[in-house]
Amino acid sequence: MTQLEFDEITDFLNPRNKIERNKYTTLDVTYHYKDNTVTITGNIPRSIIQDIAITFYERKAFMNLLLPSEENKEYIKKIVLDNIDEVVILSLYLDDYYLLKKTGLKSNSSENYKALITEIKRTLINKCDLDMTSFEWIRKNHICNYVIEATQNRLNKNPIIKTSKKIEELNYTRNLKKIADDFDYIVDPFMGRRNSFKELEDILEYVDISLDKNEDNEVKMILTDKQTSTKLIHERKLSGFSNSITYINENKEIITVMHEFESAAKLRPSHGEKLVIIKDTPISSKSVLFYNFTTNKTKYNGNDSYSAGMEEKIEFYSELQQAMNMAQETVLQHMIAKKTYTKKH
102 and 161 both lie in a single domain: no
186 and 301 both lie in a single domain: yes
Residues 6+ apart with CB under 8 A from 306: 297, 298, 299
Q: Beta strands of 92-136 (E only): which ranges?
A: none
Segment 61-83 shows an average pLDDT of: 85
What per-residue confidence (pLDDT) applies to 1?
92
157 and 118 both lie in a single domain: no
Domain count, the chain: 2
133 and 238 both lie in a single domain: yes
151 and 36 both lie in a single domain: no
Going by C-alpha positions, the residue among 216, 197, 201 that lies closest to residue 131 is 197
Segment 182-195 shows an average pLDDT of: 95
What per-residue confidence (pLDDT) applies to 316?
95
Last residue of a domain, one of 126, 146, 178: 126
221 and 265 both lie in a single domain: yes
What per-residue confidence (pLDDT) applies to 319?
97
Burial of 283 (0-12, 13-18, 19+ CB in 10 A): exposed
143 and 110 both lie in a single domain: no
Residues 6+ apart with CB under 8 A from 134: 184, 188, 191, 236, 241, 243, 261
More confident residue, 268 or 223: 223
Four-residue CA torsion sign, 164, 170, 173, 174: negative
Domain-embedded: residue 345 = no
CA triple 230-7-25, angle to 5 deg: 120
Domain-embedded: residue 232 = yes
Domain-embedded: residue 11 = yes
Domain-embedded: residue 272 = yes
Residue 142 pLDDT class (50, 70, 90 cuts): low
Residues 6+ apart with CB under 8 A from 146: 267
Q: Which helix (H) or strand (E) covers residue 300, if one does?
A: strand 297-300
Domain-embedded: residue 266 = yes
Domain-embedded: residue 344 = no
Domain-embedded: residue 214 = yes
Last residue of a domain, one of 91, 126, 161: 126
Residue 344 pLDDT class (50, 70, 90 cuts): very low
What per-residue confidence (pLDDT) applies to 163?
66
53 and 154 both lie in a single domain: no
More confident residue, 134 or 278: 278
Q: Which helix (H) or strand (E) covers residue 309, if one does?
A: none
Q: What is the pLDDT of residues 50-64, one digit of tens each?
A: 999 998 888 888 988
Residues 6+ apart with CB under 8 A from 285: none
For residue 16, pLDDT over 70 is answered with no
Render the burial of 152-190: b for 16+ CB within 10 Å, e for the rest.
Answer: eeebeeeeeeeeeeeeebbeebeebbebbbebbbbbbbb
For residue 164, pLDDT over 80 is answered with no
Domain-embedded: residue 117 = yes
Residue 121 pLDDT class (50, 70, 90 cuts): very high
How many residues are listed for the chain in this entry? 345
For residue 5, pLDDT over 70 is answered with yes
Q: Is 247 helix (H, G, I), strand (E, B) or coil?
A: strand
What per-residue confidence (pLDDT) applies to 265?
55
Segment 220-230 shows an average pLDDT of: 97
Host domain of residue 324 = 129-339
